[in-house]
Amino acid sequence: MMPAPAGPLATLATLVGPGVISTDPAELEPLLTDHRGLYRGKALALATPRSVEQVSRILAFCNTMRIGVVPQGGNTGYCGGATPDETGSQLLLSLRRLAAIRSVDPLNYSLVAEAGCLLAQVQRSAAAVDRFFPLSLGSEGSCQIGGNLSTNAGGTQVLRYGMARDLVLGLEVVLPDGRLLSSLSSLRKDNTGYDLRSLFIGAEGTLGVITAASLKLYPQPESTATAFIAVPDPHSAVGLLARLRSATGDQLSSFELMPRLALELVLQHIHGTRAPLATGSPWYLLCEVTSSRPGEPLDALLEQALATALEDGLVTDAALARSESDRQAFWRIRESIPEAQRRDGASLKHDVSVPVASLPEFLMQASAWVAQHVPEGRLVAYGHVGDGNLHFNINQAADSAAPRLAAREAEIRRAIHDLVRGFDGSFSAEHGIGRLKVGELARYAPPVELALMHAIKRSLDPNGIMNPGKVLNHE
């Protein structure tokens, strides 16, 4: 039997009642390492509250005792934001038991979900009333909606529906001192003062704990056309994007770019995948057009637009999904790229964005830099090109004698992020800052922005208990 918690933990356990605070190493162990294995922390204890009231008591107590609190959702984040530090003094607060869908309103096209609901659960709840929740990520079976909002996640449908932030109507947040900000509005219009809830979206748990959200729903897509397309270069991809947006009446929902190497890695490492096109190409696109109108001839529309693009040299080959299983096979390739990369070995990841029109030029300059300065790496730059977002990743070359990429991480990151800045881009398009990019934010954020962020942090969390060491440096 586990010894009962002692000292402040015993007081906390009494405050929240039985079964919420655990120091069981077996329970804590899997939660102490981040998804990418970059960080391994220790924790004072694990809290798994079952109610908002318990979250509130936990934060109020930790605020009084100056105990750091690290919120954790599905722990799929890429920047180490949900991992406690190595001191063993921070409380890990898992939202996994706060996982009810509180209400679904098909007439208002909205639902209210608690923070610990898996993203896939939110999608299913919407589908059950013939509605659509468009946030879609490769991790949707394990990430939580609270984590998605706290990282302002992007994914594959941003082009049409926006980032996680754009899907929020209202939020419920426990503030660091335990007070409840209950703003679970389902209004589409509400201009009453500052937009406070926006502060907590993308704050990565540094300003409070999101406990529930009121979310926008959409009509279900009833007609879909999906194509796997070969293009000669990124310039053609961006040209095709502009063309397809108007040719489809802006019904393009996804537009994903991948280089040949990404496809090769998937075919090599992911069982049961096969190349959709017979001809090789330096670049491929996966694009999807959807409509909520049943029976709309989107295949014909897309086929026609691609045929014209083929004549004009923007496209060299294309395959349309003729069945749902074709469609799933195309998507499996795209969604398996991170896993294929992982199986291939170590890699350096950069989650960057530039204005869509600048993307080809950025890719050309950044690829040339990698070719010249990182001969031990293989570039796998893929991503949500419809949003100007690239996962500009460099995999370790297979040659075991080659120098280790990891040893040059800081230098390579600096060069790529400096280049991104030159294009008025972002060094963190959708993955956030977490612990990994605290230095980058301090370096690249305009001074006034950074000062305002610190002022907001001080004002909401004067004792600095919320996710210490994440997003912002200590002042």
Ligand X SMILES: Cc1cc2nc3c(=O)[nH]c(=O)nc-3n(C[C@H](O)[C@H](O)[C@H](O)COP(=O)(O)OP(=O)(O)OC[C@H]3O[C@@H](n4cnc5c(N)ncnc54)[C@H](O)[C@@H]3O)c2cc1C
Task: Name the residues that contact ligand X, by CB under 6 A.
Answer: 35, 70-78, 81-82, 95, 115, 137-139, 143-144, 146-148, 150-151, 153-155, 204-205, 209-210, 338, 430-431, 434, 467, 470
Closer residue to ligand X (CB): 430 or 461: 430
C-alpha to C-alpha distance for 459 and 176, rounded to whole angstroms? 11
C-alpha to C-alpha distance for 298 and 280, rounded to whole angstroms? 26
Q: Using only the alpha carbons of the chain, give its radius of gyration.
A: 23
Closer residue to ligand X (CB): 296 or 461: 461
Characterize the bridge pairing of strands 69-72 and 91-94: parallel
Token pair of 241 as six digits: 């994007």
In the complex, the smallest distance separating the C-beta of residue 390 from ligand X, rounded to whole angstroms, is 12
In the complex, the smallest distance separating the C-beta of residue 383 from ligand X, rounded to whole angstroms, is 8
Closer residue to ligand X (CB): 166 or 312: 166
Name the nearest CA neighbour of 69 among 473, 463, 464, 465. Answer: 465
Closer residue to ligand X (CB): 90 or 236: 90
Closer residue to ligand X (CB): 46 or 315: 46
In the complex, the smallest distance separating the C-beta of residue 48 from ligand X, rounded to whole angstroms, is 13
In the complex, the smallest distance separating the C-beta of residue 35 from ligand X, rounded to whole angstroms, is 5
In the complex, the smallest distance separating the C-beta of residue 3 from ligand X, rounded to whole angstroms, is 28
Characterize the bridge pairing of strands 91-94 and 45-47: parallel
Region for residue 323 given its phi and psi (left: phi exceeds 0; alpha: psi -120 to 50; beta: otherwise)? beta
In the complex, the smallest distance separating the C-beta of residue 464 from ligand X, rounded to whole angstroms, is 15
Closer residue to ligand X (CB): 78 or 236: 78
In the complex, the smallest distance separating the C-beta of residue 415 from ligand X, rounded to whole angstroms, is 24
In the complex, the smallest distance separating the C-beta of residue 145 from ligand X, rounded to whole angstroms, is 8
In the complex, the smallest distance separating the C-beta of residue 369 from ligand X, rounded to whole angstroms, is 25
Closer residue to ligand X (CB): 205 or 239: 205
C-alpha to C-alpha distance for 113 and 232, rounded to whole angstroms? 44
C-alpha to C-alpha distance for 12 and 7, rounded to whole angstroms? 9
Region for residue 27 given its phi and psi (left: phi exceeds 0; alpha: psi -120 to 50; beta: otherwise)? alpha
In the complex, the smallest distance separating the C-beta of residue 26 from ligand X, rounded to whole angstroms, is 20
Closer residue to ligand X (CB): 175 or 363: 175
Closer residue to ligand X (CB): 176 or 434: 434
Q: 298-311 and 234-247 helices cross at what angle (nearest 10)?
A: 140
Give the torsion through C-alpha atoms of 314, 317, 319, 320, to 10 deg: 30
Q: Which residue is nearest to ligand X (CB)?
A: 147
Closer residue to ligand X (CB): 210 or 412: 210
Token pair of 321 as six digits: 């999904």
